[in-house]
Structure 1
């Protein structure tokens, strides 16, 4: 059975969620209405504010963890190049990618533009994107008219410019105005692993980044001052998401208030800021949350409710056969705070739907949790293969998004890994902990519970308009 959920909402129903319109009646009542005589509104406003601010706090914690001089960190306006696929036991972000090697960095545009140059990829798949601190994609390679990226990228230069800046940029640089101080830049280059990684590293050396003042003739290269690069796997004490989850209400809202000072909300977020003010949170100031004995318990309850909402799929996800994925709104959320928070929680740095679609599933066709003690089959009909202009893959993860440390192989199965079709053009993919005898199309999975992620690079419209759904995962 397939379903498609496309309804739009600011905040999901369920968990007794209150919409902003309802909260507005409590938070912004005119003088003619009797003042509040109960603090019951506090829980809802704390919960709503947590959902609203979660992406910014997560991005701020991620930026802090990635920038600096400690091992595994890099200075702002530099790039770190992943130079191997994730090894066993490595610290890595949730759902690490096994199809590409990423080059990423945090750009600081507070004083001047930061320039990034991409090399000609010579026919190899390469995509890149930049996110503001609210997880909106402000630029991506998919934005170029007619750019399908199947045949790689041409060389290009992008200038990330602070709002209101006036000046001269390098010739042929595309100007991208940014309203937040920091920008997260990510470029990904497709690799088959093994000996193919050397070719990817050569392309990575062609990436350039530097502030405008350090962008000399020809541009600062990655290994020159002002454009240094780093390699290796970041080392952190817990993922950014885990660090945010550990924050109590005061710590969370103080972090949010501090980050808001340099990374203002959008003009359309005025009402969300008003609600923050109602609970004592102002940009750049120490949070003054309601502090009475009863209030503290209510604030804690609101925080717990907000955490639950961030981790719960909103109703306007696309859905089919147990799979869930973000549709056309990915990377451009507007006032859909619930979707934005969920996307940040489950898929940090999620691209737009023109760059990539990620569909995930954690149950079989009977609604039971996927588990490596069982064997499963995914059957793609001949004309129902994943609709991607570039390529697609399926990868298995533990429930918390990690790769299986005990797996004998760590691979993603897809159309670039020797997929063999049946005589009628259909495709059967075997999903199990041990490789089935004679199976050519196999996704290795952990021995316990797991989830699958289907990635479609440069997806076709069918992947996001609801006219296509991934097949059911059938237990054998």
Structure 2
């Protein structure tokens, strides 16, 4: 499974991607946007190399220069999507106190960059972001890359929790965006756990302890979110968000390196 999931994105090549694109566009269950000029233009461009509804695409039959051009485009596009989220591209991202939130446009449609960012960083995310928003985090409060060999805290004031109509959660992932098995079988801290009294809230605060090994302190262990051993990231999720989570005005707590 690890090899399969990494091959889908991390190890995918242009020779992998374009046949899959052709397969999707020829899937009768995949609907097109009949009234979209932008999509029609994109389909015309793809048809030049044999990709599109009703067309049979064969990567190996392409001229070498065409393969090279498609490979360059694929690699540039992949890099652009990653950079847009990691660097907080203001065209598609909103800064929420250091957490990058995809702009809630209500419908991706032909917003290719935002759609690709959601597909890459928001696994199983909705086609329309209206139902929930996600805050992506790669660095700590000092701007250093998140690493499971370090210890961190995320502190919520119980009087200033994320405003949602459904629930919120703070999941933790490895650098590739996958959950990592841990002894607690715990992969997020969420509002349900808080409501059910499963978390320590002394001092009117929820202090989430993020580290690889279980904390020695019993209170910290109660709020422990097990981290992978190496590089990692967060994608906080807010279901039924109030506007402060959409426009980034909510004072989302930083990921703070724990004091030694």
| Class of the TM-score when normalised by the shorter of the 2 chains | 0.7 to 0.9
For residues 291 and 404 of structure 1, the distance between their equivalents in structure 2, rounded to whole angstroms, comes to 40
Q: Specify which of 8, 15, 20 is matched with residue 255 of structure 1.
A: 20
C-alpha deviation, 1:361, in angstroms: 1.3
* Deviation per residue, 1:292-340 (Å, 9 max, x gap): 444432332122212223433352122233322223236x202210110
Matched, 1:304 2:69: no
Q: CA distance change for structure 1 residues 251 and 445 in 2, over 3 Å: closer, same or farther? A: closer
Larger radius of gyration: 1
State the partner residue of 2:225. 443
Does structure 2 conserve the Cα–Cα contact (< 8 Å) formed by 1:395 and 1:413? yes
Q: CA deviation at 1:248?
A: 4.7
Closer, same or farther in 2 for the Cα pair 1:259/1:382, shift >3 Å? Answer: closer
The 2-side partners of 1:368 and 1:346 are apart by: 20
TM-score, with length taken from structure 1:
0.45
Structure 2 CA distance for aligned equivalents of residues 395 and 376 of structure 1: 14
Counterpart for residue 347 of structure 1: 122
Alignment of 1:285-434 (within 5 A): 285-287=55-57, 291-313=62-84, 315=89, 316-329=92-105, 332-351=107-126, 352-405=128-181, 407-411=182-186, 412-417=188-193, 418-423=198-203, 425-434=204-213
Q: 2:42 aligns with which of 272, 280, 283?
A: 272
Alignment of 1:242 with 2:7, yes or no, is: yes
TM-score, normalised to structure 2, is 0.77
Alpha-carbon distance between aligned partners in 2 of 1:282 and 1:320, rounded to the nearest angstrom: 39
- Whole-Å Cα distance in 2 between the matches of residues 317 and 469 of structure 1? 16
- Cα-to-partner distance string for 1:68-108 (whole Å, 9 max, x where unaligned): xxxxxxxxxxxxxxxxxxxxxxx59xxxxxxxxxxxxxxxx
- What SS does the corresponding residue of 2:110 show, helix, strand or coil? coil
User: Contact 1:353–1:459 at 8 Å: present in 2 too?
Assistant: no
* Counterpart Cα distance in 1 of 2:225 and 2:41: 47
SS of the aligned residue for 1:397 comes to strand
Q: Does the CA contact (< 8 Å) of 1:396 and 1:403 recur in 2?
A: yes
Contact conserved, 2:104 with 2:133, CA < 8 A, in 1? no
Contact 2:169 2:238 in 1 (8 A): yes
Assess, with a 3 A threshold, how the Cα gap between structure 1 residues 346 and 453 changes in structure 2: closer, same or farther: closer
- Root mean square deviation, CA, Å: 2.8
Segments of structure 2 that go 5 or more residues without pairing to the other structure are none
Deviations 1:178-218 (A, max 9, x none): xxxxxxxxxxxxxxxxxxxxxxxxxxxxxxxxxxxxxxxxx
Q: Which has the higher helix share?
A: 2
Q: SS of the residue aligned with 1:420?
A: coil
TM-fit CA distance, 1:238: 0.8
Q: 2:179, 2:24 → 1: CA distance? A: 32
Following the alignment from structure 1 to structure 2, what is the Cα–Cα distance between the partners of residues 254 and 385? 45
Q: How many residues align?
A: 238
Distance in 2 (alpha carbons) for counterparts of 1:365 and 1:341: 27
The 3 A distance-change label for structure 1 pair 246 and 287 is: farther
2:51 corresponds to which residue? Answer: 281
**Cα distance in 2 for residues equivalent to 1:293 and 1:348:** 34
> Within 2, Cα distance between the matches of 1:354 and 1:258?
29
Deviates more, 1:338-347 or 1:298-307: 298-307
Unaligned runs of at least 5 residues, structure 1: 1-90, 93-236
Quote how far apart the aligned CAs of 1:247 are.
Answer: 5.5
